[in-house]
Amino acid sequence: MPELPDIAIYIEALAKRILNQTLERVELASPFLLRTATPPISKADGKRVVDLRRVGKRICIGLEDELWLVLHLMIAGRLHWKQETTANQSKKTKFPSSKLKAQLATFQFDNGILSLTEAGTQRRASLHLVEGEAGLRALDPGGIEVLDIDLARFSEVLQFENHTLKRALTDPHSFSGIGNAYSDEILWEARLSPVKLSQKLNDEELERLYEATRKTLVQWIERLRAETGDKFPEKVTAFREGMAVHGRYKQTCPRCGAKVQRIRYATNETNYCPTCQTGGKLLADRALSRLLREDWPRNVDELA
């Protein structure tokens, strides 16, 4: 799922292309994408883009007359841009056939076409059309922007409830825009276990986590910005080259050389370095450890 750094780069790329441009029409290919009935989606047609904003993991396109198109890409939704003149927008070659099969909507501007696609068969991506700041607030889960707060506020939010650090960082009601991938990277940078409880952190650990969170997000925004340049971001993925632990199961930790481990649950997984983060202890994979029972390794040495 695109997270804060990815959404920030999407918005920067969109600003260069659609800000102050006119949205001529919205065409929906999937009836399940649009989650609002009023105002009707046709009300967005012919409106000029006046603002772009991120709300959590949502991309918000502000139009004239205080209308907002709000896109949530979920896990597999992605955006694509094709520079086109209005006269050429009816061509069938607007996008490669592979993208057309997964296409959920097109947003036709006077200078090009923005396309929303979603891989797979599950349709989780969503589009809302809302009115005014009140409409936006109704879609905001309320998490704070970690790049805008000090250590004291960060600690207050993190320790408001006693959750694992993984859950606390990814709770959209607590922190805005942090998900599965970047929480793994943050916790690796902070040298903290993903299952350590938030209210068990001492002052030094809290400061380490605060600094690691800000450092990780800023570095990845800068890195993705440099990689994208003036192009539109087409290679948005949760598994990026250069990540320390996320998606790197059984690969070596870039800091200590130990094999990266993971906990799998439902459709998510947590990746961590047992040497850097858990003092050599292997965290129990809920399904596999139950199957293996006493044969489940308890530490790194037992993996050899």
- 109/258 same-domain check: no
Identify the domain boundary among 107, 139, 171: 139
Within this chain, do residues 290 and 230 fall inside the same structural domain, yes or no?
yes
SS3 24: strand
Band the pLDDT of 85: cuts 50, 70, 90: low
Q: What is the CATH number of the domain that holds 282?
A: 1.10.8.50
Nearest to 209 by CA among 146, 260, 261: 146
pLDDT at 290 over 60: no
The predicted model gives 27-37 an average pLDDT of 93
Rounded Cα gap, residues 47 and 189, in angstroms:
44
Q: Are residues 46 and 194 in the same domain?
A: no
Considering its fold, how many domains does the chain have in total? Answer: 2
Nearest to 252 by CA among 192, 285, 300: 300
Q: What is the pLDDT of residue 152?
A: 98
More reliable by pLDDT, 94 or 213: 213
For residues 229 and 248, membership in a common domain is answered with yes
Query: Quick one: 103 and 150 in the same domain?
Result: no
CB 269 within 8 A of CB 184: no
Of 164, 199, 172, 200, whose CA–CA distance to 272 is shortest? 164
Q: Are residues 156 and 293 in the same domain?
A: yes
Do residue 160 and residue 120 come from a single domain? Answer: no
Are residue 128 and residue 261 in the same domain, yes or no?
no
Residue 1, pLDDT score: 84
Return the CATH number at 59.
Answer: 3.20.190.10
pLDDT of 213 > 90? The answer is yes
Residue 265 pLDDT: 77
Task: Report pLDDT for 289.
Answer: 45
pLDDT of residue 95: 47
Question: What is the predicted pLDDT for the residue at 145?
Answer: 97
Question: Over the stretch 218-262, which tens digit does the pLDDT of each residue have?
Answer: 999 999 999 999 999 998 988 899 999 999 999 999 999 999 999
What secondary structure does DSSP assign to 188-230, as a single string? Answer: HHHT--TTSBGGG--HHHHHHHHHHHHHHHHHHHHHHHHHHTT
Mean pLDDT, the chain, integer: 89
Predicted confidence (pLDDT) per residue in 40-50, tens digit: 999 999 999 99
pLDDT confidence of residue 287: 52
Domain finish residue from 119, 139, 159: 139
Residues 157 and 135 in one domain: no
**Where among 116, 139, 162 does a domain terminate?**
139
User: Do residues 118 and 22 share a domain?
Assistant: yes
Does 70 have pLDDT greater than 80?
Answer: yes
**Same-domain check for residues 194 and 291:** yes
Q: Which domain does 40 fall in, by range?
A: 4-139
Find where tokens 């965290």 sit: 283
| Dihedral angle, C-alpha 287, 292, 294, 295, nearest 10 ° | -130
Provide mean pLDDT across the span 139-147.
97
Same domain, 22 and 110: yes
